Amino acid sequence: MNKPKILVLGAGYGGIMTTVNLQKMLGRDDAQITLVNKHNYHYQTTWLHENAAGTLHHDNTRIPIDEVINKNKVNFIVDTVKEIKHEDKTVVLEGGDTLTYDYLVVGLGFEPATFGIPGIKEHAFSITSINAARKIKAHIEYMFATYSASKEKRDELLTFIVGGAGFTGIEFLGELANRVPELCKEYDVPREKVRIICVEAGPGALPGFDPELVEYAVNLLERKGVEFKIGTAIKEVQEDGVVLSKGEDMEEVKSGTIVWSAGVQGSPVCEAADIGAMRGRVKVNADMRAPGHDDIFVVGDCALIINEEIDRPYPPTAQIAMQQGVIVAKNIKALINGENTKTFKPDIKGTVASLGEGEAIGLVFGRKYFGGTASFLKKMIDNRYLFLLGGIGLVLKKGKLKFF
């Protein structure tokens, strides 16, 4: 009998957890597992803001995929997925290959949501990948170097604008605020010349987070020199700055660096696949399959699941993506064995947002944590993930082991 072909697209949290769990659960004769990813490494998306600010080297964030998969069981292909053709159960890669599948797992992650704001795609950076983070880091350093070397000393070179005070924006601000004094020293720039501005259209930072924790975060970042423009929308991003509006008032702020972090949507490949995606996210069935497609599972930021308690979608997180990877592997095994699939229910242990080295806020198992304790918890969460992925060896190699 032919072995069923399992094809996993994307080695982010969802895809890699599906793959490592499949390789644990299935023997070589049970199935043929193939993983396709753009790069030969998996990266921790939740650390990319540190790479972008330059407070952590990107090699700490990425993990060679060969180190976590069993090559006797998983065929790993480095390529970019171009198209999913569900009618003929195939996937087309940019390199020209066409792969067939019996079971497909779509874990292609996210792209920035621009909400139709002109100029974001052309002129703003987004923290989306190792390559994108490296570019932001290099650009920030270039701005300092250019300012130092120039006669005109244009203010906009040292004006850094972050669009969005959600989780990603706040975490990036914490790192950037920590990096700036170092850059000032390196490039002989007075600290007061540098502006870090956070523009948030909503009524406050970190929507949905506990107000006391939000206050702590905002106060801390303000003390480190971040200016918040709350209730202010970015109307347009231009080559040399942004146009802002607050009510009737319009304002232009000149800036050489705009980092857009005000929302994400699922992968465009998922959107184009005609499997029920809206903004790249498929509202999946209880067992993580795409409605009407019994052979297609969707995980991570490409999947949309509803929190029944509040009748709203769960925000896409690494925590949920990882848990989905585990259940999807179990469900594929169940289908192969002719058994029933299981329902996915997220087990939300808490949320911790970092605010730069040694500082964080968090709500874990219903308890609030601030400062060093929250930062310690964040590192434990990160290390736990590495342990689940590659055991103690990976924790020792890539873990965050400097706690205080």
- In whole angstroms, give the CA distance from residue 224 to residue 364: 26
Q: Convert residues 271-310 into a mask of x (bound to ligand FAD by CB under 6 A) and - (unbound).
A: -----------------------------xx---------
Asked whether the beta carbons of 280 and 264 are under 8 A apart, the reply is no
Kindly state whether residue 269 participates in binding ligand FAD, applying the rule CB under 6 A. yes
For ligand FAD, the closer CB: 78 or 243: 78
Instruction: Tell which positions 142-181 bind ligand FAD, by CB under 6 A.
Output: 167-168, 171
Instruction: Tell which positions 356-375 bind ligand FAD, by CB under 6 A.
Output: none
Kindly state whether residue 19 participates in binding ligand FAD, applying the rule CB under 6 A. no
List 18, 319, 323, 383, residue binding ligand FAD (CB under 6 A): 319
From the list 67, 87, 122, 171, the catalytic residue is 171
Instruction: Tell which positions 21-40 bind ligand FAD, by CB under 6 A.
Output: 36-39
Q: How many CB atoms lie within 10 A of CB 115?
A: 12
Instruction: Tell which positions 80-139 bind ligand FAD, by CB under 6 A.
Output: 80-81, 107-110, 127, 129
Q: Which residue is nearest to ligand FAD (CB)?
A: 12
- Decide: helix, strand or coil at residue 56: coil
List 6, 7, 8, 13, residue binding ligand FAD (CB under 6 A): 13
- In whole angstroms, give the CA distance from residue 197 to residue 215: 17
Q: How far is the CB of 125 from ligand FAD (least distance, A)?
A: 12
Q: At 290, which amino acid appears?
A: A
List 6, 7, 12, 197, residue binding ligand FAD (CB under 6 A): 12
Q: Which stretch binds ligand FAD (CB under 6 A): 5-13, 191-199, 217-225, 305-313?
A: 5-13
User: Percent helix, strand and coil across the chain, each rounded to 5?
Assistant: 35, 30, 35
- In whole angstroms, give the CA distance from residue 403 to residue 253: 39
For ligand FAD, the closer CB: 56 or 81: 81
Smallest CA-to-CA distance from 280 within 301, 258, 299 is with 301
Alpha-carbon separation of residue 185 from 88, 145, 154, 309, 382 (angstroms): 59, 12, 18, 50, 31
Smallest CA-to-CA distance from 15 within 306, 295, 318 is with 318
List 10, 166, 362, 399, residue binding ligand FAD (CB under 6 A): 10
| Interhelix angle 167-186/130-149, nearest 10 degrees | 40
87 catalytic per annotation: no
- In whole angstroms, give the CA distance from residue 26 to residue 364: 34
Site of interaction with ligand FAD (CB under 6 A): 10-15, 36-39, 45-46, 48-49, 80-81, 107-110, 127, 129, 167-168, 171, 267, 269, 300-301, 316-319, 321
**Which positions are catalytic?**
171
